[in-house]
Structures are given as C-alpha cells and as structure tokens.
C-alpha cells in the first residue's frame, strides 16, 4: 500500500476516506467513475451486509453497495474526523 493508501474494502465501518486511485481497467473502471468514484471524492463506510459482503458506502450523497473484490481496487487515503 503505497503512500499511506489503503484499499476501500479495508476502510473501517464509520470511517471516511478520499479516493486517490482506481486500479481497475475497462468497463469496471468506467462503472466506478460513473458511480462518482473520481479523484478526491470523499467516501464513508456505512455498514456490511450480514454475511460481510457487500459493504455499503456513502458516495456523493448516495449509498452504494460494493463487493470486497470491487472495493479492493479503489485506493483511498483515510480522513481523520475532528469534532
């Protein structure tokens, strides 16, 4: 994990991160971009399904479920939330 980046599927529930890189190619990459997963987009991990996959994420005001395999190809930088 270069430069402190982690795969989105490793982001803890309740934590936030900022999209820094997509490692997917082809139609899967296009789908992620269409969902709003572009550079510097904030993402919040909301909850996991009862069996642990998929996980729900808040992206640009929408809640989107991604499987761990898909989320592992999205690299994020964690954001610390200071109240």
What is the reported pTM? Answer: 0.85
Sheet arrangement for strand 16-22: 6-7, 74-79, 16-22, 42-48, 55-59, 62-66
pLDDT at 42: 95
* CATH number reported for the structural domain that contains residue 72 in this entry: 2.30.30.90
- What is the rounded average pLDDT for all residues in the chain? 89
Domain containing 54 equals 2-79
Three-state SS letters, 33-59: HHCCCCCCCEEEEEEECCCCCCEEEEE
Q: Nearest 5°: CA angle at 38, between 55 and 22?
A: 70
With beta carbons less than 8 A apart as the criterion, state whether 29 and 22 touch: yes
Structurally, the chain folds into a number of domains equal to 1
Q: Summarize the confidence of residues 29-54 as an average pLDDT.
A: 92
């Amino acid at each position: 994990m270069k430069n402190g980046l982690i795969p989105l599927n490793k982001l803890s529930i309740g934590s936030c991160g900022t999209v820094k890189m997509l490692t997917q190619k082809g139609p899967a990459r296009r789908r992620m971009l269409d969902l709003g997963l572009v550079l510097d987009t904030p993402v919040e991990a909301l909850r996991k399904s009862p069996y642990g996959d998929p996980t729900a994420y808040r992206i640009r005001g929408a809640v989107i479920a991604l499987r761990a395999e898909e989320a592992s190809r999205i690299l994020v930088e964690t954001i610390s939330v200071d109240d």
